Amino acid sequence: MIPPTKTEIQAQEALELFSIGYSNNGVSTGQNWFGSSDTIIESYSPVDGKLIAKVEAATAADYENSITTAEKAFKQWRQMSAPARGEIVRQLGNEFRKYKKELGLLVSYEMGKSLQEGMGEVQEIIDICDFAVGLSRQLYGLTMHSERPNHRMYEQYHPIGIVGVISAFNFPVAVWAWNAMLAWVCGNVCVWKPSEKTPVVALVCQKIVSKVFQENKLPEGLSCLIVGDAKIGEFMANDKRVPLVSATGSTRMGKAVGEVVAKRLGRSLLELGGNNAIILTPSADLKMALTGIIFGAVGTAGQRCTTTRRLIIHQSIYDKVKQTLVNAYPQIKIGNPLNEQNHVGPLIDKDAVGFYLQAIEKVKIEGGEFAIEGGVLEGKEYASGCYVQPCIAEVENHFSIVQHETFAPILYLMKYDKLEDAIAMQNGVPQGLSSSIFTTDMREMETFLSHAGSDCGIANVNIGTSGAEIGGAFGGEKETGGGRESGSDAWKAYMRRQTNTINYGTTMPLAQGIKFNV
């Protein structure tokens, strides 16, 4: 018998800590775990190809039970004061602090991102908890002067009810937390459908939050977890009892969800594809830019929505930059992501490897040339078949493959002459998530950030496209969906706004000076 590796032992210890074994119920309304499906979802680690756990998928009846339980919980939860709800979220943050190491390890093992990035993802949960606690005392409305004498006008915000969260595999816990923590302090309850590719870390998160809710004697249904296939997402999108559906994933998926939700006049918060570019100007600090470029291109094995996919380089420095990257890429260490010496782990599964290989072929067919060749890595350490070589291709922005998002570590290089041309290239894709310019020229910086500059939801100067902080609202434009999550005033998406007018006088004047005498 082959003895278990250190990675397997660490992962198994973490699973045992949260009482997760090979067979699990994938439906929870908080206190109770249940499931009645014969369908089993198996989670395999892309790190070593080993089976982590089997999760019982949800049925239509399970979904219905979760929604009913959530509706009941909402009626009680919304009556608590916002600061009291913030106190619960404060406790959640402390609980995630307690288990940061174990959950971060499992994120790395189940998803394949580096251990540093796995820990960073759990840190995002902790950070958004801290943000939400402060927010619980800042759910501000506005007061306005009325045109009518002895009248007062103001706006206030109310919780909307059930918030449905559909999350993706690449950030299997952080994006859920962005939604859930804000939704909870706003007085809502959450129903969460995690990615089928990363159900185990979702089970862990549900166990952590359920513990805090139970200790505070809060109603079952504040947090409902429903592990299942696309049908669960369809139920949620069609359900009028779910006023807001927050969905993260591909543009194709987002269009389908958005259309269905819109037909019932519900709200959707969509965080979809990115096709992010960095512009390198002649004045750029290239030494500083190199770190941002490489991390942006290969971090999470190119499976971030903010991954740097296009590098738009001024023609005067193009050859120098290309050669610098060609020299730097061989220093990237690829391997087991739980080994902190490695920079890049595997793609999520062999289907993702297939899309990576197809993209490489399309580049060649369209006339692109590779400065760094790609390919699937072989050897004992890469036995899962999910490890690939980060590669660099010289292309034109109009290439069909460049216009699409490929969730893999492929960096496209292209030249520009004038800054307005570079900005046009940067904007000349269907997606509009993240963008960046490296420059020490104030005029170039301000042009990039002006109305005539980047059309993305995120526009950075002298940092890369990847690595958003929770303090700012996260999201993009065009086919990225237009949603905003996490910081700033993103909380307003989880509430309904109400305008109130109070007449404290003894007469009934009408607006616009209308006279109506009875």
DSSP string, 372-418: E---B--SGGGTTS--B--EEEE--TT-HHHHS--SSSEEEEEEESS
Q: What is the side-by-side strand order in the sheet with 267-271?
A: 33-34, 27-28, 223-226, 189-193, 162-166, 244-248, 267-271
Picking from 488, 496, 434, the residue whose alpha carbon sits closest to that of residue 128 is 488
Euclidean distance between CA atoms 458 and 473, whole angstroms: 9
Picking from 468, 450, 177, 404, the residue whose alpha carbon sits closest to that of residue 274 is 404
Amino acid of residue 47:
V
Picking from 512, 498, 507, 518, the residue whose alpha carbon sits closest to that of residue 149 is 507
Q: Please report where in the chains the tokens 């004061």 appear, as a residue.
A: 81
Euclidean distance between CA atoms 437 and 456, whole angstroms: 12
Partners of 344 in the beta sheet? 334
Euclidean distance between CA atoms 264 and 12, whole angstroms: 44
The CA–CA distances, whole Å, from 207 to 4, 20, 444 equal: 27, 10, 49
* DSSP letter, residue 57: P
* Main-chain phi, psi angles of 52, to 5 degrees: -90, -50
Partners of 27 in the beta sheet? 34, 226
Residues noted as catalytic: 271, 305
Euclidean distance between CA atoms 171 and 163, whole angstroms: 19
Contact 182, 473 (CB under 8 A): no
Contact 3, 192 (CB under 8 A): no
Partners of 388 in the beta sheet? 376
Contact 162, 67 (CB under 8 A): yes
Helix, strand, coil fractions of the chain, as percent rounded to 5? 40, 20, 40
Task: Indicate if the alpha-carbon torsion angle 173, 176, 181, 187 is positive or negative.
Answer: negative
Contact 276, 307 (CB under 8 A): yes
Beta strands in 7-147 (DSSP E): 23-25, 27-28, 33-34, 40-44, 51-56, 143-145
Picking from 48, 191, 211, 206, the residue whose alpha carbon sits closest to that of residue 125 is 206
Partners of 193 in the beta sheet? 166
Rg over CA atoms, the chain: 25
Picking from 458, 46, 488, the residue whose alpha carbon sits closest to that of residue 271 is 458
